[in-house]
Every structure is written in structure tokens, then in C-alpha cells.
């Protein structure tokens, strides 16, 4: 799916059956406003309308279920109309947990590193009605954890968004510094799942 042919990509993304909580759209909107202002948010909505995917951010409720394909399409629209790079999408992901209502609700569980690790699959289910997140490994001696995400295919842009999101989430929930995230496996490269190594000092 190519970013230069958004009309075709939009149709393919909207055929994806998975849904995501509306809070994801709300965090998208907050980041767009921070980077591009209210006018940028309006441009994003206008571009979505051109693609025959009407989207009004202010009408989306945090706990409502929305099409995941529409969320992914918004990332591609931002790249197209604002000239954002994959690094910008990473930062958009990193920003999201810091302003997420759902993260604030679940923050009471962040009492220890073990608890954060154990609760991460549940956290996924609070956001998505498809796929799963596996807490694969926690190594407190070497300061890293492995997270695996198994989900249907939409677009490779989600890889950078997830990496950024995991870093933002780790910055909130892990008492450490110099947090890094590396995608070590990827379904778009032939692997069975996305795998991320989160490390800290």
C-alpha cells in the first residue's frame, strides 16, 4: 500500500475488520494540534473527507470503538499533507500515552516493573478488539523486556508508531533513564509477529 495512492490505500485499510478505542484518535488529534495547530487538524479532516472517509475528531468519544484502518490512514495522511517522516510518526506514538485518558485510568497498576510487564496484555485489550500483545520476556538483571504484538496486516507505518508508543509508555511506567526501543522482528519482513525490545539504564 503506497502513500502516493491514498485513495486505493484508504479502501484497503477500511476493509480491515479490527477496531480501536476512540482515545487513539483523540491522542492523534492532540499531537497534530501541537505540531500543526488547529488549522493542521482541519486540513487532516479535509483530506480524510477527500478520501471519502469522513472524520471529525471532536465527535469521537474516548471509549467508543472505531475502525483501526481509519486510524492508520490518518498516520499516512499526516505524512502526505505535512511532509512528516517515519521519525515524526514515532514521536506521535511516543506522545500518545502521555495524554491518554485510558493510560491515566490504568496508571494505578504501574506499581512495579513486574506489574507493568504482567498487565501489558490487558492494556492491549483495553485499546483493541483484535490481535494480542504477549509479554514475552522480562530481564531485570540486564534491564530489558521483550514485547510481541500479533495482529492483522494494515500498513508498515504502524511499526514506527508502535515503537514510539512503547517508548512513551515505558517512560511513564519504568523507573529508569535512557529508554530505548528496537523492533527486532516484523511481519512486514516475513516474521510471524512484531517484536520489540525495550531497554533502559
pLDDT at 70 over 90: yes
Mean pLDDT of 105-134: 85
Separation of alpha carbons 55 and 10, rounded Å: 13
pLDDT at 85 over 70: yes
Residues 92 and 138 in one domain: no
pLDDT at 120 over 70: yes
The CATH number assigned to the domain holding 177 equals 3.30.1380.20
Query: So what's the pLDDT on residue 108?
Result: 67
Query: So what's the pLDDT on residue 1?
Result: 46
Residues 143 and 174 in one domain: yes
Whole-structure pTM value: 0.92
Query: So what's the pLDDT on residue 119?
Result: 86
Query: So what's the pLDDT on residue 112?
Result: 83
Q: Of 71, 98, 125, at which residue does a domain stop?
A: 98
Number of domains in the chain: 2
DSSP letter, residue 146: E
Decide which of 26 and 172 is more confident: 26
First to last CA, the chain: 38
8 A C-beta contact, residue 45 and residue 55: yes
Domain containing residue 135: 108-199
Separation of alpha carbons 14 and 85, rounded Å: 23
Residues 129 and 182 in one domain: yes
Q: How far is C-alpha 81 from the geometric centre of its chain's CA atoms?
A: 20
Query: So what's the pLDDT on residue 197?
Result: 98
Helices (H) and strands (E) in the chain, counts: 7, 6
Separation of alpha carbons 28 and 78, rounded Å: 10
Instruction: Kindly report, residue by residue over 22-60, the tens digit of the pLDDT.
Output: 999 999 999 999 999 999 999 999 999 999 999 999 999
Q: Of 46, 64, 98, at which residue does a domain stop?
A: 98
Mean pLDDT of 1-9: 73
Amino acid at each position: 500500500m503506497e502513500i502516493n495512492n491514498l485513495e486505493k490505500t484508504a479502501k484497503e485499510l477500511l476493509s480491515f475488520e479490527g477496531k480501536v478505542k476512540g482515545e487513539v484518535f483523540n491522542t492523534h488529534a492532540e499531537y497534530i494540534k501541537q505540531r500543526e495547530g488547529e488549522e493542521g487538524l482541519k486540513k487532516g479532516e479535509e483530506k480524510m473527507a477527500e478520501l471519502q472517509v469522513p472524520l471529525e475528531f471532536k465527535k469521537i468519544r474516548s471509549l467508543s470503538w472505531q475502525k483501526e484502518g481509519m486510524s492508520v490512514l490518518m498516520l499516512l495522511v499526516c505524512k502526505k499533507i505535512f511532509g512528516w517522516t517515519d521519525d515524526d510518526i514515532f514521536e506521535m506514538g511516543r506522545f500518545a500515552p502521555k495524554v491518554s485518558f485510558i493510560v491515566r485510568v490504568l496508571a494505578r497498576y504501574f506499581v512495579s516493573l513486574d506489574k507493568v510487564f504482567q498487565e501489558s496484555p490487558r492494556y492491549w485489550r483495553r485499546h483493541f478488539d483484535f490481535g494480542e500483545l504477549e509479554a514475552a520476556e522480562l530481564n531485570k538483571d540486564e534491564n530489558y523486556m521483550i514485547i510481541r504484538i500479533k495482529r492483522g496486516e494494515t500498513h508498515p507505518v504502524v511499526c514506527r508508531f508502535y515503537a514510539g508508543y512503547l517508548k512513551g509508555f515505558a517512560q511513564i511506567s519504568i523507573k529508569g533513564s535512557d529508554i530505548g526501543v528496537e523492533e527486532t522482528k516484523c511481519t512486514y519482513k516475513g516474521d510471524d509477529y512484531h517484536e520489540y525490545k525495550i531497554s533502559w539504564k
